[in-house]
Structure 1
Amino acid sequence: MTSLFRAAPSYRSRFGVAVLLVAVADFLFYGQPAGITVPLFAILIAAAMVAVHPAAFNDGKVWLKSATLLVALLPLAETVSPLSVSVALGALVAFALSLRGRPWHGMARIAGQIVLFGLAAPVRFLGDFLQWRRAARRFGGHRIRLAAIAVWVMPLTLGAVFVALFGTANPVIEYWLSLIDVFKLLDLIQLTRIAFWLFVLAGVWAFLRPRLPRFQRRIARPNHHPADAQPAADRHAVEDIVFGKAAILRALIVFNILFALQSGLDATYLWGGVALPDGLSYAAYAHRGAYLLIATALLAAGFVLAALRPGSETSADPLIRRLVYAWVAQNIMLVVSSILRLDLYVGIYALTYWRVATFVWMGLVAAGLALIIARIALGKSSEWLLSANLLTLSLTLYVCCFINFAAMIATYNVDHSLEMSGQGIPLDAWYLRSLGPDAFPALDRFFDRQRGTANAGAVAELARLRGVDEGWYRGLQENWRSWSFRDWRLLRYLDNRRPIVPSVAEPVPDR
């Protein structure tokens, strides 16, 4: 508490920086589209963090940390999306904690600190303010009192009266007062705007004074009595029988046989092309198993982690290790089979955001299973496994920030639609329109193919709406705040393409 009160000047300087950042955020974001302004504001926050931590310049790795942060902010320059914003926030939190001397090693520890920071960030400013007030009251420092505010009531009131009188008596002052639009000033005071200021203030303050919450863990030590020795011994005896080495060995044998049967059926029907039973289509076969098999693989991974704990008797048995390797390999094949199932389903029923996310999730599950094998083979700890999985997830999400999924979905659905390929299902053009401007190139190719066909009349209204959407999009891009590399590339396409307007096919005259 004493150190907090003595640090009051530092608090005031940080508060001034926070207010300045709030003013910048109001100019950049309030009532404005989000674009290049988001990475610019993130860079300003990072610069402010370094400015209020001058000791950071004594760290030889500060430039490496800054370069790493800039790399993490690159997805924001590509496009502003929930994923790119999440990556940037995580990087800013890690950068802020590193300036406070938090170590940059162990993905599991870094992830845990980021989560704790996020939990404490919304109330950090309020907590610091109340703590500073208590310290000021305790040590007799400067604090805001009701009397200090009341003494200004009379001077300001009389001052306003004098200004009004002077304005009546002096035409020049009256002219100056006429230039002040009181109602215009009142319009600036909006509840939503004040809420925006408070939200930004709470956010930037958490970065300017990065702290992790302190949890006091009181672990009560149970009293050991001789009478409890016998029940504990019996309990351990039951666990050794049910979950012991012999039980795990038998479980692995049974599991390998069951998984081999499942893999054999997939190899027969999915890869071998054998006809399915009557009444069962390939789409139904693929859809029913695509998600359940992933749940099965996750359950199997949990069993492996529980059965082969580092240093346990089972983990040292060569036969059990070989059976685990075989079983995890079968689980990886199960995930590959699930990916093939989903691919067959998408080939019939088109692509969506959720199905793309499922593909990514399946790949992460397969990578996690491979890392389990690596952990067992290399004798690593559970913390190493968690850190490796978090690193894989982080790299995957970072790469996904640069993938235009909307354009990819639109392109796939157009190329594999019934109108374009002669197979599959008709194109759901309204869903493509819901994907936003990134679907424009794919829709244009679809409209171009429909010119002069009997289906041109049906898509004419959609083509008209496509033009309306482009006009709205171009108007939005006139604001420099909404600029991004992805939008810049799309605008170049729109400026260089030729207008595509499907024409209704003329009816063939009767002969």
Structure 2
Amino acid sequence: MTALFSAAPSYCSRFGVAILLAALADFLFYGQPAGITVFLFALLIAAAVVAVHPAAFNDGRVWLKPIALLVPLLPLAENVSTLSVSIALAALTVFALSLSGRLRHSIARIAGQIVLFGLAAPFRFVIDFIRWRRTARRFGGRRIRLAAIAVWVMPLTLGAVFLALFGAANPVIDYWLSLIDLVRLLDLIQLARIAFWLFVLAAVWAFLRPRLVRRIPRALPAVSAQAGKTATTIEDILFGKAAILRALIVFNILFALQTALDAAYLWGGAALPDGLSYASYAHRGAYPLIVTALLAAGFVLAALRPGSETSADPLIRRLVYVWVAQNIMLVISSILRLDLYIGIYALTYWRVAAFVWMGLVAAGLALIIARIALRKSNEWLLSANLLTLSLTLYAGCFINFAATIANYNVDHSLEMTGQGIPLDAWYLHSLGPGAFPALDRFLEHQGKTAAAGTVRELAGVRGSDEIWYRTIQQNWRAWSFRDWRLLRYLDTKEPFVIPSAIEPSMPGR
């Protein structure tokens, strides 16, 4: 009974906070554009997590955690995107686990906790409710029975009758009753809105009561001594010191051949074989070489396990250094290949992502060398790679990729430079408002040329898009720093005049 009464206030208070957050989410998001409200709601969730963990105030450094949380939440104020929301959710997860005393101290283990938290979050509310009901039954707590609800039927029914009679007899009460719009109240009861509330309740409840999925203990199979001896012998033959040494020699020779070819054709400018263009050479090699580098990294990690015989051999370590260095050159070559391809076929979101991915692969290979040289564990390597990935994604939240792609494609288009390929203006239009400045430069340039008539349709669509964008931005919920900067540009830009069609001259005039 004591456990029930001690747990009930905790559940009830958290449930009340969750209901309040759901109501605020309804006001901020339901049927509204997403903008600065996402940042504000993340701050509200953080405040609620602090409020339901009063024991955290015993730590004198508790205020450092909200200050640290503000850093990963700042991308939401810059721009709301899938990336910024994902970073904010991960940061809120770490914050909630930290206040509840469940956070690990290794970056690799923290990443695992975030994954486990995400797996448990959709079911936490239902599981906690079922667990609370079972606890109430176990300790003899009072249950909500049908009879307890039925006893209110008669009082409420007669109360409604008396209230109607009072309204007929008293003009003041009748006026108050007339202010109640039952039809509008019924309109508020919508299945979509109920689903929205349930979704928000389940989401915020996971932060208010942060728990992780319980891991299933691994069952260690019983292996006989003879079987163990056989497995060891096979491992020594296939992945032993001699096999790894020979593999590294072969791999270094193969990679040296590939590096030499790239040095000749990409860096040295040697003529390609007949029928093969630089664009084809660049496109065919960019992505397969990255897969090759990843496989090479996996081989290095498997071959040079910390404490193994191969990791202590000086010759093998030197061969690994040379091979990983060749892999880094391979990634740099892939980046150059992609740059050549983009110089011919323009820039897209996927090609920007490929640049970022290749840079991360190169950083990962460099960290492998650091791990071997410093004799660190694979957990250290995983933590270092996760930290590099996190910093890269965080920095990406502040980069306007739509504007970057649009500016590059306009500046390198056939219409603007006289070389390259024609600009895919409709792809720029699909990039959204971030492409407005680059598209305006293109339209103004085309309006001064003989091809002015070809931009009339695009200019009309551009004007309609701006009207739609300004309408959305009139709602304060849609505000962000990026949109604020774009609105300042639109307000200071001179209005673009759609070029009129050239009328044919009449004879004799």
Q: Normalized against structure 2, the TM-score is what?
A: 0.96
Tell me, yes or no, if structure 1 residue 329 matches structure 2 residue 330: no
For residues 198-237 of structure 1, the aligned pairs below 5 Å read: 198-217=198-217, 219-222=219-222, 228-237=224-233
Q: 1:176 corresponds to which residue?
A: 176
Q: How many residues align?
A: 507
Q: For 1:186-205, what per-residue CA distance to the aligned partner results, in whole angstroms no more than 9, with x for missing partners?
A: 11011111111111111111
Q: 2:358 corresponds to which residue?
A: 362
Q: 1:115 corresponds to which residue?
A: 115
Distance 1:234-1:217 versus aligned 2 partners, 3 A rule: closer
Q: 1:81 corresponds to which residue?
A: 81
For residues 143-292 of structure 1, the aligned pairs below 5 Å read: 143-217=143-217, 219-222=219-222, 228-292=224-288
What displacement does 1:505 show? 6.8
Distance 1:138-1:229 versus aligned 2 partners, 3 A rule: closer
Do 2:4 and 2:139's aligned partners in 1 also have CA atoms closer than 8 Å? Answer: no
Q: 1:55 corresponds to which residue?
A: 55
Do 2:447 and 2:455's aligned partners in 1 also have CA atoms closer than 8 Å? Answer: no
Do 2:65 and 2:95's aligned partners in 1 also have CA atoms closer than 8 Å? Answer: yes
Distance 1:333 1:310 in 2: 25
Specify the code of the residue in structure 2 equivalent to 1:71.
V
Q: 1:317 corresponds to which residue?
A: 313
Q: 1:28 corresponds to which residue?
A: 28
Q: 2:343 corresponds to which residue?
A: 347
Distance 2:214 2:96 in 1: 17
Specify the code of the residue in structure 2 equivalent to 1:156.
L
Q: For 1:424-473, what per-residue CA distance to the aligned partner results, in whole angstroms no more than 9, with x for missing partners?
A: 11111111111111100000000110113222111111111111110111
Tell me, yes or no, if structure 1 residue 435 matches structure 2 residue 431: yes
SS at match of 1:503: coil
Of the candidates 380, 392, 395, which is equivalent to residue 396 of structure 1?
Answer: 392
What displacement does 1:10 show? 1.6
Distance 1:213 1:237 in 2: 38
Do 1:450 and 1:502's aligned partners in 2 also have CA atoms closer than 8 Å? Answer: no
Distance 2:284 2:90 in 1: 36
Q: 1:46 corresponds to which residue?
A: 46
Do 1:454 and 1:504's aligned partners in 2 also have CA atoms closer than 8 Å? Answer: no
Distance 1:430-1:319 versus aligned 2 partners, 3 A rule: same
Do 1:451 and 1:504's aligned partners in 2 also have CA atoms closer than 8 Å? Answer: no
Specify the code of the residue in structure 2 equivalent to 1:316.
A
Distance 1:201-1:268 versus aligned 2 partners, 3 A rule: same
What displacement does 1:229 show? 3.3
Distance 1:412 1:208 in 2: 45
Specify the code of the residue in structure 1 equivalent to 2:349.
Y
Tell me, yes or no, if structure 1 residue 93 matches structure 2 residue 89: no
What displacement does 1:143 show? 2.9
What displacement does 1:510 show? 11
Distance 2:132 2:5 in 1: 6
Of the candidates 442, 456, 460, which is equivalent to residue 464 of structure 1?
Answer: 460
What displacement does 1:103 show? 4.1
Do 2:4 and 2:136's aligned partners in 1 also have CA atoms closer than 8 Å? Answer: no
Tell me, yes or no, if structure 1 residue 419 matches structure 2 residue 441: no
Which segment drifts farther, 210-219 or 129-138?
210-219
What displacement does 1:392 show? 0.3
What displacement does 1:4 show? 5.8
SS at match of 1:491: helix
Q: 1:71 corresponds to which residue?
A: 71
Distance 2:213 2:396 in 1: 31
Do 2:283 and 2:337's aligned partners in 1 also have CA atoms closer than 8 Å? Answer: yes
SS at match of 1:275: coil
Distance 1:315 1:4 in 2: 56
Q: For 1:360-380, what per-residue CA distance to the aligned partner results, in whole angstroms no more than 9, with x for missing partners?
A: 000000000000000000000
Do 1:456 and 1:503's aligned partners in 2 also have CA atoms closer than 8 Å? Answer: yes
Unaligned runs of 5+ in 2: none
What displacement does 1:235 show? 3.1
Of the candidates 440, 444, 453, which is equivalent to residue 449 of structure 2?
Answer: 453
What displacement does 1:142 show? 3.3
What displacement does 1:157 show? 2.3
Distance 1:508 1:454 in 2: 14
Specify the code of the residue in structure 2 equivalent to 1:446.
F
What displacement does 1:506 show? 4.0
Q: Identity over aligned residues, as a percent?
A: 79
Specify the code of the residue in structure 2 equivalent to 1:185.
L
Do 1:2 and 1:135's aligned partners in 2 also have CA atoms closer than 8 Å? Answer: no
Distance 2:253 2:218 in 1: 47
Distance 1:325 1:304 in 2: 10
Q: For 1:288-326, what per-residue CA distance to the aligned partner results, in whole angstroms no more than 9, with x for missing partners?
A: 111000000000000000000000000000000000000
Q: 2:304 corresponds to which residue?
A: 308
Specify the code of the residue in structure 2 equivalent to 1:416.
H
Do 2:402 and 2:432's aligned partners in 1 also have CA atoms closer than 8 Å? Answer: yes
Unaligned runs of 5+ in 1: none
Q: For 1:163-209, what per-residue CA distance to the aligned partner results, in whole angstroms no more than 9, with x for missing partners?
A: 33444454444433332221111110111111111111111111111
What displacement does 1:215 show? 2.7
Which segment drifts farther, 376-385 or 269-278?
269-278
What displacement does 1:260 show? 0.5
